[in-house]
Amino acid sequence: MIDNWHQTGVALRAPSKKAKQRAASLEQILDAAEIVFARRGHDGGTIQDVAKECDVHTSLIHYYFRNKEALFESVFRRRADVTSERRMAALEQYERTAGEHPSVEGALRAFLDADFDLYCQGGPQWMAFAAFCARLGHTPEGATLVDEQFNPVVLKLIGILKRALPDLSEQDVFWGFHFVTGALLHSLCNTGRLDHLSAGLCRSDDFEAIKARMANFMAAGFRALRSREM
């Protein structure tokens, strides 16, 4: 929240009580929807669930958001720009420091860590957003939304990867990225499967552990594809 209204000469009105109320309600509803849709998916989560979660009446949700689709998309849009801009900035920053010879691992680290840090340190709502996006990412309908939002950043990453791996075919770069995406989305989903499987040795919500391993693991994978071609 930026309160620039009392320092500009242009007499921007102070936010009225109603404006504040409105903003607060919008946020409450979006927070609740984020949690509900992250937990139960687009089809499993209902407007009634959302209403219960934030203790308002369903009609208020329709008052602020035309319909379920609009609510769903608003949940995505509220944070989508933040994440893609952060990733883009991290990639550009990495490009500058790496200069002529970027490394696969460096590029992946920039791309992935920007995200993981946000989800780890951003509190439970960002965590819910992560799961929300992950579910979105592996439905065919959701894929369109995700594509539009993240393709620019992803293509940026792929560009750097190509320069880091000049002797790798373009297909292999895409397939490698496909594996990275899968592992990332599965991690963000946080299904708890690994917890059972490892008998508690690993917790699937331990994003720090994932962050510490993933770029490293995947970078080696890309390099191995290269040797496969020869």
| Chain positions contacting DNA, by CB under 7 A | 13, 16-19, 21-22, 25, 46-49, 56-60, 62-63, 66-69
When asked if residue 15 is in the footprint of a copy of itself (CB under 8 A), the reply is no
Judged by CB under 8 A, which of 91, 134, 161, 164 binds a copy of itself? Answer: 134
Helix 140-164 vs helix 104-121: crossing angle, to nearest 10: 140
Rounded Cα distance, 45 and 43, in Å: 6
**3-class DSSP assignment, residue 223:** helix
For a copy of itself, which is the closer residue by CB, 60 or 158? 158
- Give me the least distance between CB of 153 and a copy of itself, in Å please: 11
Phi and psi, residue 137, nearest 5°: -65, -25
Q: For the CA atoms of the chain, what is the radius of gyration?
A: 21
Among 27, 85, 147, 208, binds a copy of itself (CB under 8 A): 147
Q: Cβ–Cβ contacts within 10 Å for residue 39, how many?
A: 15
Phi-psi region of 221 (alpha: psi -120 to 50; beta: other; left: phi over 0): alpha
- Residue 214 binds a copy of itself, judged by CB under 8 A: yes
Q: Which residue number, 22 or 203, has a Cβ lying nearer to DNA?
A: 22
CB of 16 to DNA, least distance (A): 3
Q: What's at 11, amino acid-wise? A: A
Closer to a copy of itself by CB, 52 or 193: give it.
193
The stretch among 23-31, 50-58, 59-67, 178-186 that binds a copy of itself (CB under 8 A) is 178-186
Residue 22, contacted partner among DNA, a copy of itself, none, CB below 5-8 A by kind: DNA
- Quick one: 57 or 178, whose CB is closer to a copy of itself? 178
Exactly one of 37, 153, 185, 205 binds a copy of itself (CB under 8 A); which one?
A: 185
Cα–Cα distance measured from residue 66 to residue 70, given in angstroms and rounded to the nearest whole number = 6
**68, 77 contact by CB (below 8 A):** no
Q: Which range in 12-20, 87-95, 122-130, 170-178 contacts a copy of itself by CB under 8 A?
A: 170-178
d(CA 145, CA 150): 9
**What is the secondary structure of 18-52 as a DSSP string?**
HHHHHHHHHHHHHHHHHHHHHHHHHHH--HHHHHH
Residue 93 contact, options DNA, a copy of itself, none, Cβ 5-8 Å cut-off depending on partner type: none
Residue 11 as a binder of a copy of itself (CB under 8 A): the answer is no
